[in-house]
Amino acid sequence: MKKGSIAYSVLGLAVVLSAWLMNGCSPAGSTPVSMGELDGLQLYNLDSTQFKFTKGDMRGSLMAVVFNPGCEHCQAQAEEFHRHMDQLQDVTIIMIGSVPLQQLRDFSEKYQLSGFKNMRFAYASPVNVLNLWQIHNIPHIVLYDKDLKPVKTFSGPTAVDKLLAGIKK
């Protein structure tokens, strides 16, 4: 009887271990999920690895910001984000640029945005960006709800209060 109990325990442990391994050994919230229309951008992290978005990354709503590090309006927007980051804690912000990764890294460090948990920087090819959005000015900001459906678009530098009002609608 004792040998049978041990065998069933080992078998049960093997089943649990197999299920865990098949699910990628990922803790809850770290499995990549769809970003809706943003999936078409084929984003890359600052370390040139493919950008993965997880449920754990989502803070309530999402803000995608297309920018260029050399753009004065984009620099002003970065300063606005930094000044008001306490108000943006419940918003996941993805800063998307189409310049070399080193320029994106330098920008994130210069404006001290890379240390915020709700802020991510990513590279996307200009072709993919223009295929998704009609951009007339940058920064180009698109707000998404918790279901990753686009809610509102802003063109040019925008005050954080105005962005938050667009999210809450």
Residues 52 and 21 in one domain: no
Residues 141 and 124 in one domain: yes
Handedness of CA 80, 142, 148, 131 (dihedral sign): negative
Q: What is the pLDDT along the chain (169 residues), one digit of tens a residue?
A: 566 666 555 555 444 444 444 444 444 455 666 777 888 889 999 999 998 877 777 778 899 999 999 999 999 999 999 999 999 999 999 999 999 999 999 999 999 998 999 999 999 999 999 889 989 899 999 999 888 889 999 999 999 999 999 887 6
Q: Residue 106: in which H helix or E strand, if any?
A: helix 101-110
The span from the first CA to the last CA of the chain, in angstroms, equals: 64
Whole-angstrom Cα distance, residue 124 to residue 139? 15
pTM to 2 decimal places: 0.79
Structure tokens at 44: 């890359």
Closest CA to 135 of 44, 42, 68, 39: 68
Residues 16 and 41 in one domain: no
Residues 10 and 72 in one domain: no
Q: Which residues contact 140 (CB under 8 A, 6 or more apart)?
A: 65, 66, 67, 133, 153, 154, 155
Q: Which residues contact 116 (CB under 8 A, 6 or more apart)?
A: 85
Residues 72 and 132 in one domain: yes
Residues 128 and 60 in one domain: yes
Residues 53 and 133 in one domain: yes
Residues 19 and 42 in one domain: no
Residues 6 and 89 in one domain: no
Residues 74 and 105 in one domain: yes
Residues 16 and 71 in one domain: no
User: Which domain, by its residues, includes 77?
Assistant: 36-168
Residues 152 and 82 in one domain: yes
Whole-angstrom Cα distance, residue 105 to residue 101? 6
Whole-angstrom Cα distance, residue 68 to residue 137? 11
**Number of structural domains found in the chain:** 2
